[in-house]
Structure 1
Amino acid sequence: MTVKGIDVASYQSSTYSTSGLGFVMVKATEGTSYVNPKHAAQVAHARAAGVAVGHYHFARPGSMATQVTYFLQHAGVKAGDILAMDWEDTGVSGADKDAFIKALQKASAAHRVLLYCNLDFWLHRDTTSFCGDGLWIADPGAAAGHPRVEHAWTIHQYSSTDGMDRNVAHFADAAALTTWAAKSTSGGAPSYEAFPGAAWFTAGRKSPIVAAMHARLVAVGCDHYKSTANKDVIGSGDVASYEAWQRKYSTDHHKGWTGAALKWPPGKESWDALHVPKA
Structure 2
Amino acid sequence: MTIKGIDVSSYQPSDFSTSGLDFVIVKATEGVGYVNPKMTTQAAHAREDGLVVGFYHFLRPGDMAAQAQFFTDRACSMEGDPLFADWEDPDVSSANKDQFLSEVKKLRGKAHRVGLYCNRDYWLNRDSTSNAGDALWIADYVNPGTPRITASWLFHQYAEHPIDSNLARFPDRAALRTWATVKGVSG
Contact 2:39 2:76 in 1 (8 A): no
**Superposition map of 1:9-20 within 5 A:** 9-20=9-20
Q: Which residue of 1 aligns with 2:64?
A: 64
Letter in 1 for 2:123: W
SS at 1:177's partner residue? helix
Q: Which residue of 1 aligns with 2:119?
A: 118
TM-score by length of 1: 0.65
Q: Which residue of 1 aligns with 2:173?
A: 174
Cα deviation, residue 161, structure 1: 2.8
1:22 pairs with 2:27: no
Contact 2:112 2:183 in 1 (8 A): no
Cα deviation, residue 40, structure 1: 0.7
Cα deviation, residue 102, structure 1: 0.7
SS at 2:132's partner residue? coil
Letter in 1 for 2:152: A
CA distance in 1, matches of 2:41, 2:76: 11
Question: How many pairs were matched up?
Answer: 185
Letter in 2 for 1:180: W
Structure 2, gaps ≥5 residues long = none
Contact 2:5 2:166 in 1 (8 A): yes
**Superposition map of 1:1-279 within 5 A:** 1-109=1-109, 110-140=111-141, 142-162=142-162, 164-183=163-182
Cα deviation, residue 160, structure 1: 2.0
CA distance in 1, matches of 2:101, 2:65: 10
Moved over 6 A (4+): none
Q: Which has the higher strand share?
A: 2
CA distance in 1, matches of 2:77, 2:183: 17
CA distance in 1, matches of 2:102, 2:37: 27
Higher relative contact order (CA 8 A, sep 6+): 2
CA distance in 1, matches of 2:47, 2:134: 22
TM-score by length of 2: 0.96
CA distance in 1, matches of 2:67, 2:175: 30
Letter in 1 for 2:121: D
Q: Which has the higher helix share?
A: 1
Cα deviation, residue 184, structure 1: 6.4
| C-alpha RMSD of matched pairs (Å) | 1.4
SS at 2:129's partner residue? coil
Letter in 1 for 2:114: V
SS at 2:56's partner residue? strand
CA distance in 1, matches of 2:68, 2:35: 13
% identical aligned pairs: 55
Contact 2:82 2:180 in 1 (8 A): yes
Structure 1, gaps ≥5 residues long = 190-279
CA distance in 1, matches of 2:6, 2:115: 15
Cα deviation, residue 79, structure 1: 1.4
